[in-house]
Structure formats: C-alpha cells, structure tokens
Copies of this chain bind each other. A is one copy, B any other.
Amino acid sequence: MESKKSKILIIGVTGRLGFELAKASLNSFHPTFGLVRDSAFSDPHKSQKLHTLSDSGVTLIKGSLQDEDILIEALKQVDVVICAVSSKQVPEQKLLISAIKRVGCIKRFLPSEFGSDPERSQVSDLDHNFYSRKSEIRRIIEAEGIPHTYVCCNFFTSFFLPSLVQPGLKSPPRDEVTIFSDGTAKGVFVKESDVAAFAINTVDDARTLNKVLYLRPPGNVYSMNELVGIWEGKIGKTLKKIYITEDELLKKIRETPYPENMELVFIYSAFVKGDHTYFKIESSGGLEGTQLYPQITYTTISESLDTLL
C-alpha cells in the first residue's frame, strides 16, 4: 500500500504522547522532525527527552505554533504533520492549519485529538468547551480541504487505570471501590506508546484518509463492574462497592471548581454516558485500529493491572 516512507513533523515531542509518537515514527523508519519551543531546551526534564530524540535521529526544529515563517519552512520539509500539543493548546493550531493550507504539500495532518470523539460526547455543557474546541479545529481542517486523520484513542491507560478510575487515588483500591451509576457503561484504555504505534500506521494508509481512527482493542474495553472484577481476581479479594448515582456525580462535578472537576467529567462521560463505546464506528465515518492493523501488539488492561499488583 505504501511506496516510500513519509517524512513526519511532530509538534509537541517533549510531551508524553508526542515523545512516544516520535519514537514510533523512528521505529517505522520515517524521517522524523520535531518542532520544539526554545524554552524546552532549558527545562531539565524536557531537554533530556530532546537529547534522547536527537541522538535517535529526530531532526529538531526550534519554533512554536506562533511562528508562521518557521512553520512554513518546517512544513516544506515534510509530508505529514502530527500535532500532540495539550488540550489547552488545541485552539493554537489555527495558524498551523493556515500554514498547511498555504504550503500545499502536506499529505496528511493529524490534529491534537487523542481522546474520545468530540462529536460523540454527551456531557452537554459540563466540559468547559473541551470537546467543542476540538470540533472547531475539525471544521476548519475540513473547510480547508486538508487531508486528515482524527485519532480517537479514548483514555490513556496511564491516566485513569492506576487508580482503577478512583478520583484522588494513586494506586488501585484494595478495600473499597466507588462505582459510578450502575457500572455497566464500557470505557476504553490504551497505552500512549500503543496509541503512537496506531497513529503512525495511519499516515501512509489510504484507508484512513479523512477518516476517524477509533481504538477499541478487544482486551481494553471494560465497564467499571468488569474492571473491578478483573482487579478482584488478581488480588484475590472482594472489594466493598460504593455506588454513586448519576445525579450525585453531576452534583459533585458542579461543586468542584474547574479545572479540578474535569477528571470527574471524563469519568462521567466514559463510565456513565458510555461515550467511548455507545455508537457504531462505521456510522461515524470511522475505522477501528486493531481491525486495520492486527499486526500491532498492544498492552491489555489485564497486563497493565499486573504491573500494579
């Protein structure tokens, strides 16, 4: 399906996902470029990551999403752009999109999404425009006719699984566990490095052009009841269940200040409203990653929980 490996520019390589994207890009033999802000080189943690990437063969370009001239120069050198900036920076992709439109050579753009589908969120106005900001970027990309793929990976395993979806905890509970609503809505967890591997596979794949790539790996789609059951099996103990109703959770979300309440909003979205899984992928112009790329081995929830024992 592919003739030669596209050159990939990754924006946000010092971030958790961006770093994995850069490594996955190199692992797949793509000439790999990273756009890095000046300030990152003086941050000890970030500069260490940049050394690692540079030593591995990533070409680092100094610049930010605000430098139009630098963006244009960087874009001229590549075929594909993957943006992995934080959710706060989502609106800052607008100048990048107009630069992509201007250079005209970009064959695929993956904007900063990498969560649940913003068009399928059912949290009404609770999310402080977290999802509408992503939708707005989609509309601009589509209006400009820029070739794109949206990656909806749902939850990163590292974000919610270590606490078994218990707000405030750092490790899974061993005595009692809170279950939201009736605990039957199914959520999806995928490890960042696996998300990166799936994302990199899409860039030269005609099947994913202008489509949404959803990740629902069979070993990673579970309800709270199932998650707790798996964990109970691993620790050989039955936990006390505390049930929080939808109304109680909504009350808590409204009483907790923003942005601290966003963790609860994400839990509400995934494990009460079922936003990761309630819809058929085909009806969203989408494709499922493990079905498209069965050769990618991914870390299952059970394997991730084993590391927390």
By a beta-carbon cutoff of 8 Å, the part of chain A in contact with chain B is 1, 117, 119-120, 135, 138-139, 142-147, 205-207, 209-212, 279-280, 282-287
Contact = CB atoms under 8 A, between A and B. Distances in A.
A212 B285 contact: yes
A147 B209 contact: yes
Given A1-B145, A145-B205, A205-B145, A120 B283 contact: yes
A142 B284 contact: no
A285 to B, nearest CB: 2
20 contacts: A1-B145, A117-B283, A119-B283, A120-B283, A135-B282, A138-B282, A139-B282, A142-B287, A143-B207, A144-B207, A145-B207, A146-B206, A209-B209, A210-B211, A212-B285, A283-B284, A284-B284, A284-B285, A285-B285, A285-B286
Nearest to A119: B283
A280 B135 CA distance: 13
Contacts of A207: 142-145
What's the number of copies of this chain in the assembled complex? 2
A287 B237 CA distance: 52
A145 B211 contact: no
A209 to B, nearest CB: 5
Contacts of A143: 207
A114 B282 CA distance: 18
Given A147-B206, A212-B285, A285-B285, 17 more contacts: A117-B283, A119-B280, A119-B282, A120-B283, A139-B282, A142-B207, A143-B207, A144-B207, A145-B205, A145-B206, A145-B209, A146-B206, A147-B209, A209-B210, A210-B285, A283-B284, A284-B285
A221 to B, nearest CB: 20
Contacts of A119: 280, 282-283
A224 B206 CA distance: 42
Contacts of A280: 119
Nearest to A138: B282
